Amino acid sequence: MKSLYPIFLFAVAFCGCIEQEPTTNPPQKSQLRALQTIGQGWTYQEEYRYHSDGRVEEIRWERNTPFTTQGVETYQYDNNLQLSGMVKEMTGLVTEEIRYRYSGSQIVEASSYSNGVKESYTLYSYNPTGQLVKTQFFKRNPSTNEMLADGETRFSYHQHGNVQEIQEFVFDLQESRMKLHTTRTFPEYLLNREAVLDAYPTIPKVRLQKNLPTKYVLMTPSTQMEVKFDYRWMPDGILLDRTAIYPDGTSEQTVFTFFP
């Protein structure tokens, strides 16, 4: 799904591009209803549906680049109402099933299945305070059916609890080791403003950012780019939109809508 990653992660109001059906269980107050991001020649949007107790039921999304791709993510719960998995459907692709494994209340593994075959899995590690500090990704080799290391992500945090730095590593087969690919740094936050969604999604139940970042700096071994965020709020303090401004002067606007 949200593979156009830096842009789609904050939200924007729906502009009628996806028809909304009536929901039988009215969501709780101030829950995110929809989002839409408008970029240079593309748009992306999501629609959220909830169970009556506030648990996410499904997320419908649509991407136009200008080719249209649509998908649905359906959340699954066990008898104790704990999230147990997710089914991802996307136009033209095989349905993917995600199954979660827990240690206590924390998700420690997410396994991905297609047509009943386990294709990949991700391991999650936490620090003593419960913050996510590492993810390790493994992918099936179709020739041998072995699960091989493919990548790793490491997280560090500010004292106020928001993520500060995210390092993404890829596995180098020739050198047989992880090599740093990108570093994403969030140096500053608006500590008096609550975030709606993380700017870097990981897994459900894990929030990296409780407040809104003012910018991020993306570094690769050869380049560096700074992206700034501007926000607007409704008179009641609810976030209306966010604009991401890039070094070349281009921008994308994301608008949020909420259930009343």
Pairing type for strands 32-38 and 83-90 reads unpaired
Query: Which pLDDT score is estimated for 18?
Result: 32
Question: What number of other Cβ atoms are within 10 A of residue 168's Cβ?
Answer: 17
Q: Write down how long the chain is.
A: 260
User: Is residue 241 classed exposed, middle or buried when 0-12, 13-18 and 19+ CB atoms within 10 A define those classes?
Assistant: buried
Rounded alpha-carbon distances, angstroms, from residue 205 to 30, 55, 79, 102, 236: 18, 11, 18, 12, 27
Token pair of 10 as six digits: 């904050």
All structural domains of the chain with their residue ranges? 5-258
Rounded alpha-carbon distances, angstroms, from residue 158 to 161, 187, 188: 5, 9, 9
Residue pair 175/169 in contact by the 8 Å Cβ criterion: no
Pairing type for strands 251-258 and 32-38 reads antiparallel
Q: How far apart are CA 72 and CA 90, in angstroms?
A: 7
Q: How far apart are CA 258 and CA 260, in angstroms?
A: 6
Rounded alpha-carbon distances, angstroms, from residue 223 to 7, 135, 153, 195, 211: 19, 24, 19, 28, 27
**Closest to 57 in 3D by CA, of 92, 93, 7, 21:** 21
pLDDT under 70: residue ranges of the chain: 1-29
pTM: 0.85
SS3 6: helix
Query: Which pLDDT score is estimated for 17?
Result: 34
Query: Which pLDDT score is estimated for 90?
Result: 94
Query: Which pLDDT score is estimated for 91?
Result: 86
Q: How far apart are CA 238 and CA 247, in angstroms?
A: 28
- Is 5-258 a domain of CATH 2.40.160.190? yes
In the block, which residue shows the tokens 């139940």? 205
Query: Which pLDDT score is estimated for 3?
Result: 41
Which residues, 6+ apart, have CB-to-CB distance to 145 below 8 Å? Answer: none
Query: Which pLDDT score is estimated for 79?
Result: 95
Query: Which pLDDT score is estimated for 89?
Result: 96
